[in-house]
Amino acid sequence: MNALPLRIPAGADLRAALEGVPALHGVGAAFVVQGIGSLSVARLRYAGRPDLAELRGDLEILTLGGSLGADGAHLHMSVADAEGRVSGGHVGPGCVVRTTAEVLVALLPAHRFSREHDPATGYKELFVHPG
């Protein structure tokens, strides 16, 4: 495992920036260990809901974690608004960094992640393969 600290700049799409990490660093698997920072737009899919909710304003990233592979990202995040209200869920595209995002990624060169249909859940789930 190799630690990769990242600073994602203002205006960047948080999810898109993280989805590109494995290919950029030549690995088939990585994990977002934690992230903090701020967003001006957060797009989250809440548990059991099909559509993304969009939050706008001054938002603080409280937690950020998930898996990154060639098939994309599976990320969860919690954010707080200017009143301290917290929302969390699956990270969708279009989360816009407000000032900065500081993220620690663990590169996993000995592994490869894929998302494959799991008959037990009915969803595409994480499968871990040797790198």
Domain that holds residue 94: 2-130
Q: What is the predicted pLDDT for the residue at 45?
A: 98
Residue 23 in 3-state DSSP?
Answer: helix
Q: What is the predicted pLDDT for the residue at 78?
A: 98
The DSSP symbol for 51 reads S
Q: What is the predicted pLDDT for the residue at 22?
A: 98
Q: What is the predicted pLDDT for the residue at 131?
A: 84
CB neighbours of residue 121 within 10 Å: 8
Are 96 and 38 in contact, with CB atoms under 8 Å apart?
Answer: no
Q: What is the predicted pLDDT for the residue at 34?
A: 98
Q: How far apart are CA 36 and CA 44, in angstroms?
A: 16
Per-residue pLDDT of the chain (131 residues; tens, 9 = 90+): 999 999 999 999 999 999 999 999 999 999 999 999 999 999 999 999 999 999 999 999 999 999 999 999 999 999 999 999 999 999 999 999 999 999 999 999 999 999 999 999 999 999 999 98
Q: Any idea what the CATH number is for the domain that residue 91 is in? A: 3.30.1330.80
Question: Considering the entire predicted model, what is its pTM?
Answer: 0.94
When divided into structural domains, the chain yields a total of: 1
Are 18 and 68 in contact, with CB atoms under 8 Å apart?
Answer: yes
